[in-house]
Structure 1
Amino acid sequence: MPLDRRQFFRLLGVAALLPFSLSLQAQPREVPVEILHIDKPDAGVPNNRLPLLIYHRVIPPQVANNAEYLEQLFKSNGWPPQWRYQAYPFTHFHANTHEVVGVFSGSARLQLGGEHGKVVEVNVGDVLLIPAGVGHKQLSADQDFMLVGAYPPNIAADLCHDEPKKMAGRMKLITAVPLPQTDPVTGHSEGSMLYWHGKN
């Protein structure tokens, strides 16, 4: 039965009170992906043959809470969120896991791959999928810059520094890290499902 004007505007008012419309619930999204190959070691940073992926414009413009949106997106795709913070201002990496970070506020300049690595600028809505072993650090940021960080299930990420003497042992750990079963942004298609699984 068609709605009359009064019913229509009543429903419109109720919809305006909802935090998200159904279409804005965090769901797997196919978005532009930038591919960075950071596969050569840099001093004590092993890096990885798997490319680092930067997903752009992941957060839809109408979202009210960027951090919650990214957390819901990662969680729904099998990457439980574990923290909200900035990136560390020193080169570090994880030897036991891959990591995904999403920018929910502000912007920053990050260095990827070690002390001689590539410098990139990241902004709200950018998500970085960082392979195990790939160095990263924050060079500068505005005062609003914040990230959501997540890992595959049941993972407690280690924290490794640029230490050349420990390279051999860390390389063994990195080669044992399994490929993720899902992509944190796109779910079961595109992203790491396309660019990582093809390299295995």
Structure 2
Amino acid sequence: MLKKSFVFCLFLLAITTACNKKETLYKVVKVKDGDTIELLSPDHQNITVRLAEIDAPEKSQAFGQAAKQFTADLCFGKMVKLIGNTKDRYGRTVATIELENGTNVNYEIVKNGYAWQYLAYSHNNVELAGLEQNARESKLGLWHDLNPTPPWSFRRDEKTQRLNKPKVQSTKPKRHYRKRRKKLPEAVSF
């Protein structure tokens, strides 16, 4: 009987702990671009987050500033949940962000036409594909453009241009500097 009571108490304690466990909330302190934000953790650490499964236009690209503004309007200064914690090659956390009310920030950006589903990193996400298709058909955000350039193509083209750009030789004459000789201290005589 004592053993059953003890097990029952442990079970109740486990359920109570699980129900009372609060999810960690982070504050959005910076929006770098349409799909990259900076969070402040409860222990005051800055975390750069690349939003998973989506790709927004680059800042220098058409609709890049609009995507950044939409993301800022949606979540800047708000408390959010961080879902996922993988790292990309730049050391950023790749994750889904949810507002306290349950709104999926990643999905909202695509739904409103400010990002593509990033097919290279979003495998079989039918819901996200549907949100993008609806935005395309409704000509929302970047879909106003007849033929918008996906960010991965834009980045590739930018890189190709940088690599193919001929290096320009400087027309300034090279300056030659003479090495100064150090003066030796004069000998002291006794």
Q: Same fold (TM over 0.5)?
A: no
* Max Rg structure: 2
Instruction: Decide which structure has greater helix share.
Output: 2
Report the TM-score, using the length of structure 1 for normalisation: 0.28
Return the structure number with greater relative CO, CA threshold 8 A, min gap 6. Answer: 1
Report the TM-score, using the length of structure 2 for normalisation: 0.29
